[in-house]
């Protein structure tokens, strides 16, 4: 199939707009667009300038002029929409979380494999050139064995009691909010860069603002983790959506035998490298993987999305690029999310290693 498939977008909010820009920047067609409801479709879909007007989700999923479905709706609708699109034989890009429980996420990954279609999840921070550089330094042995991985993912868009969003409602967002929404990005990224897998974790969650819009809040504003990995490393993570002044500050440090490296998503053109004799800042070079602009012309979040969609569409064309985040990665994220909630409830360490073996099996069977 062409690497310019015809796309259908379900969901016309911020993520729908990000996906539509990435689709068009890759030379593909936005064939159909629907919102979460017929009313939102009529109100918002025309602004996406689709090829065809579409009344319902089902019309989009069944349309012969849609090859790949992008699901950009509230979390609790993801699994049902992904299942329907897969059963219709479509390739699927589903926003994280793939599903609000790990069993359903696993079933979707199995279904995608049995249907023989491409099924991807936008863990897009993998596509920063600086992140690929850090990954290469570990893979080629330059960094030495990672000892510690630590960092945070901090935002402040829910820092005020009057702030709210469908994510706060567990019926629409699922039982976890901060970790399921952004903590999974950090965990995916640290495992992607190091090649390690988190095998056990201890987590605490906290609700900083107990009431929003007159309703009691039951989903976490923040999560704090300690974890161990399958290759003898350990780490910590702080996730928060109430950290005033932090807009989208994903940051990690990997402290390895020969050097430490740190990356800051709010300053993504550089990678800090600390050595025993000197420290240096590596700035994105024009020849780096996923560099599309000359040095000094900063690349950012949308460029990562463009690269993710390009690689997804390459996979649809028959060549699966290294590092494409698929439904198997969505399954892992769902398992980590469940482990975080279980650990926070029981105050116990939770083993996630067995789940990983299952996930890897799913991933390799493809």
Query: Where does this chain touch ligand SOE (CB under 6 A) — which range of 5-13, 53-61, 177-185, 186-194?
Result: 177-185
**Does residue 181 belong to the site contacting ligand SOE (CB under 6 A)?**
yes
Q: Does 199 bind ligand SOE (CB under 6 A)?
A: no
What is d(CA 153, CA 159) in angstroms, rounded to the nearest whole number?
14
Least separation in angstroms between CB 184 and ligand SOE: 8
Q: Which residue's CB comes closest to ligand SOE?
A: 181
* Using rule CB under 6 A, residue 154 touches ligand SOE: no
Residues 64, 66, 92, 126, CA torsion sign: positive
As given in the structure block, the two tokens for residue 327 are 């439904």
**Which x/- pattern over 201-240 shows residues binding ligand SOE (rule: CB under 6 A)?**
----------------------------------------
CB of 163 to ligand SOE, least distance (A): 12
Give me the least distance between CB of 182 and ligand SOE, in Å please.
5
Q: Does 164 contact ligand SOE by CB under 6 A?
A: no
Tokens of 252: 């990690």
- Find the shortest distance in angstroms from Cβ 67 to ligand SOE: 24
Among 40, 164, 238, 248, binds ligand SOE (CB under 6 A): 248
Minimum distance, C-beta of residue 265 to ligand SOE, in the bound complex (Å): 9
Among 9, 10, 154, 182, which residue interacts with ligand SOE (rule: CB under 6 A)? 182
Long-range contacts of 340-346 (CB under 8 A, 24+ apart): 340/176, 340/179, 340/183, 340/201, 340/203, 340/205, 340/223, 340/225, 341/175, 341/176, 341/179, 341/203, 341/205, 343/201, 343/202, 343/203, 343/204, 344/203, 344/204, 344/205, 344/220, 344/223
Q: What are residue 354's phi and psi, to 5 degrees?
A: -60, -40
211: exposed, middle or buried (C-beta count within 10 Å: 0-12, 13-18, 19+)? exposed
Binding interface with ligand SOE (CB under 6 A): 155, 181-182, 185, 248
């Amino acid at each position: 199939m062409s690497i310019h498939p015809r796309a259908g977008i379900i969901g016309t909010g911020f993520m729908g707009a990000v996906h539509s820009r990435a689709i068009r920047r890759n030379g593909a067609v936005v064939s159909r667009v629907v919102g979460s409801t017929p009313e939102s479709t009529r109100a918002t879909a025309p602004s996406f300038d689709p090829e065809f007007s579409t009344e319902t989700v089902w019309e989009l999923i069944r349309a012969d002029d849609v090859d790949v479905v992008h699901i950009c709706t509230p979390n609790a609708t993801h699994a049902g929409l992904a299942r329907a699109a897969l059963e219709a034989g479509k390739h699927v890009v589903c926003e994280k979380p793939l599903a609000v429980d790990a069993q359903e996420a696993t079933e979707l990954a199995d279904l995608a494999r049995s249907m023989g279609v491409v099924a991807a999840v936008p863990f897009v921070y993998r596509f920063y050139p600086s992140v690929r550089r850090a990954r290469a330094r570990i893979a080629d042995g330059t960094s030495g064995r990672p000892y510690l991985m630590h960092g945070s993912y901090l935002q402040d868009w829910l820092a005020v009691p009057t702030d709210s969003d469908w994510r706060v409602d567990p019926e629409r967002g699922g039982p976890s909010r901060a970790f399921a929404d952004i903590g999974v990005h950090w965990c995916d990224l640290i495992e992607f860069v190091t090649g390690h897998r988190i095998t056990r974790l201890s987590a605490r969650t906290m609700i900083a603002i107990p009431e929003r819009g007159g309703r009691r809040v039951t989903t976490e504003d923040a999560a704090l983790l300690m974890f161990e990995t399958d290759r003898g490393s350990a780490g910590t993570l702080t996730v928060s959506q109430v950290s005033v002044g932090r807009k989208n500050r994903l940051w990690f440090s990997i402290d390895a035998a020969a050097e430490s490296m740190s990356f800051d998503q709010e300053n993504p053109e550089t990678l800090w490298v600390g050595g025993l004799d000197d420290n240096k800042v590596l700035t994105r070079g024009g020849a780096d993987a996923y560099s599309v602009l000359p040095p000094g012309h900063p690349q950012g979040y949308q460029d990562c999305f463009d690269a993710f969609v390009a690689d997804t569409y390459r996979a649809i064309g028959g060549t699966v690029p290294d590092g494409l985040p698929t439904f198997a990665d969505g399954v892992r994220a769902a398992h980590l999310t469940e482990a975080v909630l279980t650990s926070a409830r029981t105050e116990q360490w939770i083993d996630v290693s067995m789940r990983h073996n299952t996930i890897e099996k799913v991933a390799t069977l493809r």
